[in-house]
Chain A
Amino acid sequence: MRLIVPLRGVVQGRGGLFVGSLIPCCLFYFLQLYLKRRRSPPDPPPSDSDLTELPRTSSRSNLFSRGNSIGRVRVSSRAVPVAKPADSPYYIGLERAKTDPYDRISNRDGIIQLGLAESTLCFDLLQRWMSENLIDSMMMKSDDGEFDVSSIAMYKPFEGLLELRVAFADFMSRIMGGNLSFDPSKMVVTAGGTPAIEVLAFCLADHGNAFLIPSPYYPGFDRDIKFRTGVELIPVHCRSSDNFTITVSALEQALNQARKRGSKVSGILFSNPSNPVGNILSRETLHDILRFAQEKNIHVISDEIFAGSVYGDKEFVSMAEVASSGEFDKSRVHIIYGLSKDLSIPGFRAGVIYSFHEDVVNAAKKLMRFSSVSVPVQRILISLLSDTRFIEEYMAAHRQRIRDKHVRFVDGLKQLGIPCAESGGGLYCWVDMSSLLTSYSEKGELELFEKLLSVAKINATPGTACYCIEPGWFRCCFTALADEDIPVIMERIRKLAESSRS
């Protein structure tokens, strides 16, 4: 209405008809332009020339050797951050250590790797088992004693052979205290712990939702969860005053802050034994977490990948056990497990999602087509995990050897006046190097990290990479060290400490 009145005025004036028709035309044109710009998503830049107009030659390659006249094709925006050079000290340290790896015979001045949570302490036992059992375990023989390739070659259910899930269920209940039995039908076998956590994130949270995660936490979670799912991680800071144990009040606070920001929290993700600190959560703490999750109606993901690497006096309790107590709705509880840490076979790629939620199990099963374990490897694992005599022997030795190494390592540090957090599990210790910091800050910590790497030639993961709120803490993995490596490490740290004091 308002438009017509001034138009009438214009039209009724001199040259009005012309202007009167021109203005609506202009308005119409601008309207179209505006709508077009708003509507169409950006086109990828088209090539400058239309190749179909060129004369066709018999040699096809002529058409394509036209220099830079064609736009560069792009990858998706979600792909862009993935290929960026690593900016976390966790990855930087790992890369640097690889360029100059310590070898006690051939490269005594190399970088000692304390940044990778892997154990080689019981390799001798595994090697013996493998040399005796690998071939027979892998391929079933037909009646005439010949290899029967079809037994390992053909498609099998992506969630893992039933026998493997049964063997895993049995293995898990053995190492997690024996009070609990795991149900193979709630289990899905994955190609390692990495896809296990990602698949759970895909199933429990939408793009843009968040998980609360007690910090300090394992730096790999950033990639595992954020790369493709779009789920956020909200650190819930824990403090040295209570040995970095998660509290409900901290969870409550973090959840409220998230809500204020408009973030939807779908669940809590934590590791137990915890990584990087190595502490074992008590039954009470697990209970509290589950009650909190129940009250807020969110999920609980317990990453128990170090459950078999418990060496302290504290008893390990699985969240599965607490969930089974009947007090809470257990369909919100999901466990991650794998053989990379406890059985020292990360190269085999064998992980587990264990969920009390039927729909999650069903969805995860279907998603396993993207991350399943090869059948020959499954057969090896069935044989390995079902060899209960060997497993008992191995797990006892594994725990014992970690305990011994832990004692040596922590004592060595103690003698230098460097304390560690109390820990009872995992393949590492959480070391307080704040006394070596030039400034009690993140900057000071990163400087120390760099000095450790370039001067002391030691790769240890700084707390910043783990989102630790207190500066000066470092994760040191000791389970790939021989006893004679430890004095070498301590000497290097001592020298560094001395030079920083002077």
Chain B
Amino acid sequence: MGLPLMMERKSNNNNNNVVELSRVAVSDTHGEDSPYFAGWKAYDENPYDESHNPSGVIQMGLAENQVSFDLLESYLEKKNPEGSMWGSKGAPGFRENALFQDYHGLKSFRQAMASFMEQIRGGLASFDPDRIVLTAGATAANELLTFILADPNDALLVPTPYYPGFDRDLRWRTGVKIVPIHCDSSNHFQITTEALEEAYQTARDANIRVRGVLITNPSNPLGATVQKKVLEDLLDFCVRKNIHLVSDEIYSGSVFHGSEFTSVAEIVENIDDVTVRERVHIVYSLSKDLGLPGFRVGTIYSYNDHVVRTARRMSSFTLVSSQTQHMLASMLSDKEFTEKYIRINRERLRRRYETIVEGLKKAGIECLKGNAGLFCWMNLGFLLDKKTKDGELELWDVILKELKLNISPGSSCHCSEFGWFRVCFANMSEKTLEIALKRIHEFMDGRRRF
């Protein structure tokens, strides 16, 4: 796959009087010119709507969780009749919220986050609220950690396929590189020690210093949890190379069967040696599990005191408003509610997943066996004329223009095998999902006739 190219600086000095911008401002590392985002544009121009635009583009490229809003709403109705909870217990609470801009974050909110994260892990790991650093979303958390763990031109190793946003989030302002750890379908895209060693060596050969490994568990775009043995081997590897391990667990609450998820926190829980513990950092957010991306609530949980202190100070660039913290603190610490929410949300996601996978199977399409997340990893390799990136993008374009479905091509996730696509299923109604499946069936039927 190769290393990311050096960003080219656009010449903007054609005229002595035109004022210059920075490299960061003119670079295209934001990636918004890639196909991943082109599909979004097509959707924006012709969005599907059940009643008003039934032939529009169905957005299956956005990993958003809309299946459990009713649970949030009924909780709010019951516990918060006049909005008193969210109205900051009437007027007096407002004063604290309005002034509070401490980068430590509200203690009550951090406690609530810690408790919620523990619940998701079935109590198999404990979280210390003082190790929680709040950021305005997981995007900010990943960038912040990258600033702290790596210097410009250093690298993080990231297993492929990975979330396309990482190219931007981990590299743009930080100047840090991503070196891919190649995974393939022969073992369901699990990370192997050989692949880790190979990636590490690739970096060394290019004189790049590796500072850490960043994984997403459960994986985006695979929609599958990382096996416990793989996590242990990964931690071994990081210890051997003396590098960091970042685990983005943003989908941890979206694992269909809770027992199938092993968090890196569980492994660290049984380790006393601080020199091992302190290289582990977890990223979390409420955007996926709670379906609240608009709230911009993310967190870094680090076992490293230095990292916690540094992240806290740097979080002043990305604080969560105290009003938001206050609003969520009581809801997240209501164990009865969160237990019920986690359970029902998982169940609904599981059913959605089964619907889409079976629907695809009937159309002759296989998916990777998944057990988590808001999407499935679909294999259309057999439809490609040529098993190349161009071949894949041609098929993607057909799916976008003819089927009017925006899905994400594997190449935008740096997958080394062509023909895989990520398909989101939780950001729409069941009816819309059926329509999407119907379009796919018709398309496949059409192809079979030839």
> Which of B147, B241, B322 is A76 in contact with, Cβ under 8 Å?
B147
Contact assessment for A70 and B86 in the assembled complex, using a CB-CB cutoff below 8 Å: no
Contact of A371 (CB < 8 Å), options: B136, B151, B152 = B136
* Docked pose: A396 CA to B87 CA in angstroms: 26
For A209, the closest partner residue in chain B by CB is B22
Complex-state Cα separation, A372 to B240, whole angstroms:
38
Q: Is the CB of A346 within 8 A of B99?
A: yes
Q: Is the CB of B275 within 8 A of A68?
A: yes
Verify B77–A147 contact, CB threshold 8 A: yes
Q: Is B1 close to A, CB under 8 A?
A: no
Q: Are A192 and B319 in contact (CB under 8 A)?
A: yes
**Which of B99, B147, B310, B316 is within 8 Å of A347, CB to CB?**
B99
Across the interface, name the chain A residue whose C-beta is closest to B23.
Answer: A206
Judged by a CB distance under 8 angstroms, whether A29 is at the interface is no
Cβ contact within 8 Å between B86 and A134: yes
10 pairs of residues in contact across A and B, judged by CB atoms under 8 Å: A44-B242, A51-B236, A75-B304, A138-B83, A153-B294, A155-B294, A228-B314, A360-B25, A374-B323, A375-B296
Which among A125-133, A253-261, A423-431, A435-443 touches the partner chain?
A: A125-133
Known: A70-B273, A227-B314, A363-B25. A46 touches B242 (CB 8 A): yes
| In contact, A60 and B270 (Cβ under 8 angstroms) | yes
Nearest chain-B residue to A61 (Cβ)? B270
The contact string, 1 if C-beta is below 8 Å from chain B, for chain A 319-341, is: 00000000001011000000010
A266 vs B240: C-alpha distance when bound (angstroms): 44
Check: B137 CB closer than 8 A to any chain A CB: yes
Q: Determine if A150 and B313 form an interchain contact, defined as CB atoms under 8 angstroms apart.
A: no
User: Given that A83-B306, A206-B23, A228-B147 are contacting pairs, would A297 and B16 also be in contact in the complex, using a CB cutoff of 8 Å?
Assistant: yes
Q: What residue in chain B is nearest A66 (Cβ atoms)?
A: B273
Determine if B62 is an interface residue (Cβ-Cβ < 8 Å). Answer: yes
**Are A134's CB and B88's CB within 8 A?**
yes
Assuming A70-B242, A206-B22, is B87 touching A135 (CB within 8 A)? Answer: yes
Min Cβ gap A198→B in Å is 6
State in angstroms the CA–CA spacing of A42 and B25 once bound together: 31
Q: Which 4 A-B pairs have the closest CB atoms?
A: A135-B83, A375-B294, A347-B322, A203-B25
Find the B residue at minimum CB distance from A227.
B314
What residues of chain B lie closer than 8 Å to A150, measured between beta carbons? 66, 69
A495 adjacent to chain B (CB < 8 Å) = no
Q: From A44, which residue of chain B is reached at the shortest CB distance?
A: B242
Q: Tell me whether B276 is interfacial, beta carbon within 8 Å.
A: yes
Cα A65 to Cα B271 in complex, Å, equals 7
Name the residue of chain B whose CB is nearest to the CB of A296. B19
What residue in chain A is nearest B151 (Cβ atoms)?
A: A76
Is B276 touching A155 in the complex (CB atoms < 8 A)?
no
Query: Nearest Cβ distance between residue B33 and chain A, in whole angstroms?
Result: 11
Contact of A77 among B91, B151, B318 (CB under 8 A): B151
Residue among A47, A52, A120, A147 having the largest count of chain B Cβ atoms under 10 Å = A147
**Of B148, B241, B323, the contact of A79 (CB 8 Å cutoff):** B148
Contacts of A70 in B (CB 8 A): 239, 242, 273, 275-276
> Which B residues lie within 8 Å of A223 (CB)?
313, 316
Which residues of the other chain, B, contact A42 by a CB distance below 8 angstroms? 209
Say whether A332 contacts B19, CB under 8 Å. yes
CA distance A205 to B94 in the complex (A): 39
The complex places the Cα of A207 from the Cα of B174 at a distance, in Å, of 11
Q: Complex: how many Å from CA A67 to CA B21?
A: 51
Q: Is A262 an interface residue (CB 8 A)?
A: no
Q: In the complex, what's the smallest C-beta–C-beta distance from A79 to chain B, in angstroms?
A: 4
Interface residue ranges of B276-303 to A (CB < 8 Å): 276, 278-279, 291-297
How far apart are the CA atoms of A149 and B388 in the complex, in Å?
Answer: 43
Residues of B within 8 Å of A153, CB to CB, are 69, 72, 291-295
Contact A346:B324 (CB < 8 A) given known A135-B87, A205-B22: no
- In the complex, what's the smallest C-beta–C-beta distance from A153 to chain B, in angstroms? 5
Answer whether residue A72 sits at the interface, using C-beta atoms and an 8 A cutoff: yes
Contact between B244 and A331 (Cβ–Cβ < 8 Å)? no
A359 touches B147 (CB 8 A): no
Instruction: State the CA gap A224–B139 with chains docked (Å).
Output: 20
The answer to whether A118 has its CB under 8 Å from any CB of chain B is yes
**B321 and A377 contact, CB distance less than 8 A:** yes
Contacts of A192 in B (CB 8 A): 101, 316, 319
Asked whether A61 and B19 contact (CB < 8 A) given A47-B240, A146-B77, the answer is no
Collect the chain A residues with CB atoms within 8 Å of residue B148's CB: 75-76, 79, 82
What is the CB-to-nearest-CB distance from A115 to chain B, in angstroms, rounded to a whole number?
14
Task: Please name all residues of chain B whose beta carbon is closer than 8 Å to the beta carbon of A357 when the two chains form the complex.
Answer: 19, 21
Besides A41-B207, A297-B20, 12 other A-B contacts (C-beta < 8 A): A45-B242, A68-B275, A130-B91, A131-B91, A227-B317, A297-B19, A345-B98, A349-B136, A363-B21, A369-B169, A372-B136, A376-B294
Nearest A-chain residue to B273, judged by Cβ: A64
